[in-house]
Amino acid sequence: MACATRSRSPRPPPNPTASGATPLYRVFNSGETVRRDPRSEKAQAEFAMMKELAAEGFTDYAALPLSGGGYRNAITLATRRADGFTETDVRLLKPVFSLFALHVERHSALRISGNALNAYLGLGAATKVLNGSIKRGAGESIHAVIWVSDLRGFTDLSDRLSGSDMLALLNAYFEVMAGAVLSQGGEVLKFIGDGLLAAFPLQDPDQVRAAAGAALAAARTAMAGLDALNRDPPGTLAGTGWQPLRAGIALHEGEVFFGNIGAPERLDFTVIGAAVNEASRVEALQKTLGRDILITEAVARHLDVPLDFLGSHSLRGVAVPLAIYTPAAA
């Protein structure tokens, strides 16, 4: 006997008996049990897969619903026994399927929860929350390369563009920026208006060179992506008067707290610390320095690429001036 399970959310069928529909289509969309003899010409005409089952020697096939949790799950069975499934087989299997449905429902719920948390919190934070790190103040101090980026001229764009155009523009912009961070193994932690907070955590001090290189590679990828977006915008953004789109990125390194912060009734999983504040202050220098990527000395010393020194700058709330670098002009 062969057995398999699948699950999906229910969707009203346009036609449950549509040509080419599979047994699972019937189960998912109408909740019916499908049982066929694969050797039957009628079954083979109804479902193309029956010919394959018959060719492999199967004599009986069943697809049954496993309900639960608002999602329609299914299990399929097939046997090569000459007389197929008996009524006793079906009777004995029903209570087993009832228990199995609970396991499938739990698995589906965990998978859905994980996907949702990954999308809203990021992989690292989602893993911690799923593992039970949900108390206020729960978290850990980590060493990381911090990324802070900001969209130039956001206020002006918001005044000139309609709400729907601005939303489409922000989605396209964040797809480029966040995609660049994720492609290099970084963690996207927060979208703040037009700003993005991300981190490249270090598991041990020996990884700082790799993290710094990954952060710079992500920054360069992001800038190249914005150039491509300016040259070839998606159809929804063509002709809306937003080009050229520009952004600034600051890279800094330091110790941060990665965990739950907020009120007892509403928590946020984020990073805080002096390194985050300093990175934000460095990013604000974009307006006066006129360079898209600013790198503090803490990160620059771990990079083996040509850099231009932009001087040491006093930052609000930071006791010591920070030396700032940028990738060398081509």
For residue range 204-263, list pLDDT tens digits in order: 778 899 999 999 999 999 999 999 998 888 777 776 777 788 999 999 999 888 777 778
Give the class (CATH, top level) of 125-327: alpha beta
- The pLDDT of residue 94 is 77
Q: What is the mean pLDDT of residues 183-206?
A: 87
Domain regions of the chain by residue span: 2-121, 125-327
Query: pLDDT tens-digit profile of 9-67?
Result: 444 434 444 434 789 888 888 778 899 999 999 999 999 999 999 999 999 999 888 76
Please tell me the predicted confidence (pLDDT) of residue 293: 95
pLDDT at 311: 94
Look at phi and psi of residue 132 and say left if phi exceeds 0, alpha if psi is from -120 to 50, else beta: left
What CATH homologous superfamily does 2-121 map to? GAF domain (3.30.450.40)
- For 37, the 3-state DSSP assignment is coil
* pLDDT: which is higher, 64 or 278: 278
Is the confidence at residue 292, as pLDDT, over 60? yes
Predicted confidence (pLDDT) per residue in 259-275, tens digit: 777 787 776 777 788 88
Instruction: Please report the pLDDT score of residue 258 as a whole number.
Output: 75
Confidence of residue 154 (pLDDT cuts 50, 70, 90): confident
Tokens of 283: 């990013």
CA–CA dist 169, 236 (Å, integer): 9
Q: Exposure pattern of 76-98 as b/e (b: 16+ CB <10 Å)? A: bbbbeeeebbeeebeeebeeebe
Tokens of 38: 């694969």
Confidence of residue 300 (pLDDT cuts 50, 70, 90): very high
Among 154-158, 266-270, 313-317, the least confident range: 266-270
